[in-house]
Amino acid sequence: MTASEELLFERQGPIGLITFNRPQARNALTFAMYQRLADICRDPGDAKVLVVTGAGEKAFAAGTDIGQFRDFKTDQDALDYEAQIDVVLSAVEECPVPTVAAIAGACTGGGAAIAAACDLRLATADLKFGFPIARTLGNCLSVANLARLCALLGAGRVREILFTSRLVLAEEAMTAGLVSEVLADHAALMSRALALAEQLTEQAPLTLRATKEGLRRLARQDIEDEDLILCCYGSADFREGLEAFLAKRKPNWQGR
C-alpha cells in the first residue's frame, strides 16, 4: 500500500477526516504515514477542523510499525527517528485548525503521542492508552515528547505509566482529563466526533488559532502573546463579531 492508501484524507464539507488505514496491523504507523500526517496538518487546505482516527474498531494506532526498526544500524538512526517524531508531533500541535482525536480501542506508542498532541480527544469505553516500551522494545521517549505528556497528564502520572508499562483505561482517562468524553462504541464515537467538529467550524477561527498557539507556548513557558492579541483584535472577524453581537445575529467568520 502507498502512503495515501495507508493514511486516508477525505473531506466532509468543512471537516477533514484523517484515517490511519492499516487495520490488519492495528493501524501501526509507517514512516511514510507519519510524514503524510505532518504534511496534512501543516496545510489542511480549506478544512476548518481535522478529525484523526483509526480504521476499524480495535485501534486508533498501535505505535510505530516495529518492522521499520530492523533497518536501524547506527546511533544516528535512533537520533534521526526521535527527531522526526518530534517534527511530526510539532506539526500536529501547530496545525492552524483544531484537531480532534477519535480514539477507539488501543492507542499506544506513537499513536498515543499523536492523540496527546491533538487539541481534543474522544474515546470508546474500551480505550487502552499508554507507552508500554519498558516491557516491549526497551526504547525511550524524547524529552520533548515527555514534556508534551507531562503538560497534559502531570509528571507524576507520566512517570508511573512509563515505569509500570500499564495502560490507561477509559474511566481514568476521563478523570485525568486525557479525554473529554467516553462513547459506548465506534459508531457513537465517530458520530460524536463529527458533531463536535461541526460545532467547532462555527467558532471564530482566529480565536481558536490564537488559543491553540497560546496554550502551546504556555506549556513551554513562553508567555509572549502580543502577536496573538493583535491578530484577533485587529481582524475583520473581530469587527464582524462585535457588529453581529450588537445586531443579535450570527457572525459570518472569514478567518481574517
**CA quadruple 15, 20, 26, 29: dihedral, nearest 10:** -140
Amino acid, single-letter form, for residue 88: V
Domain boundaries, the chain: 3-201, 205-247
Residue-wise pLDDT tens digits, 139-196: 999 999 999 999 999 999 999 999 999 999 999 999 999 999 999 999 999 999 999 9
Contact by Cβ (8 Å): 88, 36: no
Cα(83)–Cα(114) distance, rounded to whole angstroms?
Answer: 15
Measured at the alpha carbon of residue 207, what is the angle toward residues 201 and 208, in degrees to the nearest 5?
A: 55
Backbone φ, ψ for residue 72 (5° rounding): -70, 125
Residue 1 has a pLDDT of 66
Parallel, antiparallel, or unpaired: how do β-strands 128-130 and 168-169 relate? antiparallel
Burial class (CB in 10 A: 0-12, 13-18, 19+), 20: buried
Cα(240)–Cα(249) distance, rounded to whole angstroms?
Answer: 10
Complete DSSP assignment for 108-134: ETHHHHHHHHSSEEEEETT-EEE-GGG
Residue with cell 509507517: 30
Which of the residues in the chain have pLDDT under 50?
Answer: none
Residue 143 has a pLDDT of 92
| Element of type H or E holding 33 | helix 31-42
Helix (H, G, I), strand (E, B) or coil at 102: strand
| Element of type H or E holding 209 | helix 205-219
Contact by Cβ (8 Å): 174, 182: yes
Phi-psi region of 90 (alpha: psi -120 to 50; beta: other; left: phi over 0): alpha
Residue 242 has a pLDDT of 85
Q: What is the CATH number of domain 3-201?
A: 3.90.226.10
Cα(122)–Cα(100) distance, rounded to whole angstroms?
Answer: 8
